[in-house]
Amino acid sequence: MEEKRHTSSHYEIELQEIKNGLIYIGALTEKAIQNAMKSLSERNSEMAHKVITDDDEIDKLDAEMEEHCIRLLALRQPTAIDLRFITTAIKVTGHLERIGDMAVNIAEKVIQLNEEPKLKPYIDLPRMADLVVEMVNNSLDSFIRNDLNVAEKVRQTEQITDDLNEQIFRELLTFMMENTKCIHRALLIMHVSKNLERIADHAKGIADMVTYMVTGENVRHQTRDDSAKEPA
C-alpha cells in the first residue's frame, strides 16, 4: 500500500515535469517570436542574431521532451486522460519547435531587411505579430488550464491572421508594381508575414490537440472540412 502510493505520486511528479517542461519551451518560443518582431520594428540585427542562436536550446529541449514522453509511455503505460496528455505533449512540443524555427526564419529575413532602408512604416505587421503572440500565448494557456474556451478563441483568431496576411500581401504587391527597386524588401516582408501566418496555424494545431486531450475528440480535420465547405 505504502509502496503503491509512493509510486503513483512519483508518477504525478513526472507528469508535472512534462507540463513544466512544455511551458518552458512555450515561453522560449514566445520570447523568440517577440524578439524577432522587436528586432524588425527596432531595426536591431543583434537581437535577430540572438533569436537564431537561442533556437538551439528550443531544439534541444524538444528532443529531450519527446524522449521523456516516450520513456513515460513505455514505463508507466498510462491510460485515458494521462495517455492523451502525454501524446498531446509530444505533438505540442513538435508544434512549438516548428514555431521556434519560424521565429528563426523571421529573424533571418529581418537581418537582410535591416541592411536596406525602411520600405514603409509597419502597421499591419506589428498588429499581426501581436495577434500571433497572443494566439501562441492562449494556446499554451488552454493547455495549462485544460480550458476549451481559450482553445476555441485561438481557432477563431486564426482566420483573422489569414486575412491580415492576405491584406499585407496585396499592399506589398502594389508597392512592387509601383517601384521595382523595392521588390526585394517587399518579398522579405512577405516572408515575415507568411511565417507569422504559419505560426498562427501551429498555434491552432496546439489548440486542437488541447481539445483532443480534454474531450478525447479529434477536431482537427473536422474544422478544416468545415472551413473548406464555407466558401462553397
Partner 1 sequence: MKKNIFYKIFFGYLVIICLSFFFLDLFVRDEVKNLLTSKIETELFSYAQLIELNSSEKIAKQLNQLAKISNARVTLIDARGKVLADSEKDAAVMENHLNRPEVQEARLKGTGKSVRYSSSIGIDMLYVAVAVKDGREITGYVRLARSLRDVQNVIERVYQSFFLAMIIVGFMALVIALIFSYSLATPILAMERFTEKLRQGHPVGTILLETADETKKLADNINYLVEELQSQIRLANEEKSKLMTAFTSMTEGILILNAEDKIEFVNQALSNIFSEQYGDINGKTLMEAFRNVDLQKAFLDFKQTRINVSCEITLGNIEPVILSVSISAVHGYPEEEKTMIVFHDVTRLKKLEQIRVDFVANVTHEIKTPLTAIIGYLETIKSGTTVNNNDAKRFIDISLKQAQRLNRLLEDLLVISKIELGELQFRFEEISLRDALEGVIPLVEAKARLKKINIHDDVGENMPHIRADRDRFAQILVNVLDNAVKFTSEAGDVYLEAVQKDNNAVLSITDTGIGISKEEVQRLGERFYRVDRSRSRDLGGTGLGLSIVKHLMIAHGGRMEIESQLGRGTKVSLFFPIHKA
Which chain residues interact with partner 1 by CB under 8 A?
A: 13, 16, 19-20, 23-24, 26-28, 30-31, 34, 120-123, 130, 133, 140, 144
206 in Cβ contact with 139 (< 8 Å): yes
Residue 130 carries which side chain, given as an amino acid letter? D
Residue 78 phi, psi dihedral angles, 5° rounding: -70, 160
**Closer CB to partner 1, 31 or 194, in the complex:** 31
Distance of CA 190 to the CA centre of its chain: 18
**Nearest distance in Å: CB 217, partner 1:** 24
Helix residue ranges per DSSP H, 77-182: 80-114, 124-145, 148-178
Whose Cβ is closer to partner 1: residue 41's or residue 218's? 41
**Minimum distance from residue 31 beta carbon to partner 1 (Å):** 6
At 208, list the grid cell: 486542437
Q: How far is the CB of 225 from partner 1 (least distance, A)?
A: 33
Q: Is the separation of the CB atoms in 219 and 151 below 8 Å?
A: no
Helix H or strand E segment including 161:
helix 148-178
Nearest approach in angstroms of CB 74 to partner 1 is 25
- Between CA 33 and CA 84 the distance in angstroms is 28
Nearer to partner 1 (CB atom), residue 16 or residue 174 = 16
User: Distance between CA 106 and CA 97 in Å, rounded?
Assistant: 14
- Cβ closest to partner 1, residue 26 vs residue 205: 26
Shortest Cβ distance from residue 23 to partner 1 (Å)?
4
Among candidate residues 16, 5, 4, 152, the one with its CA nearest the CA of residue 82: 16
Q: Report the residue number, 19 or 50, with the smaller CB distance to partner 1.
A: 19
Which C-beta is closer to partner 1: that of 22 or that of 111?
22
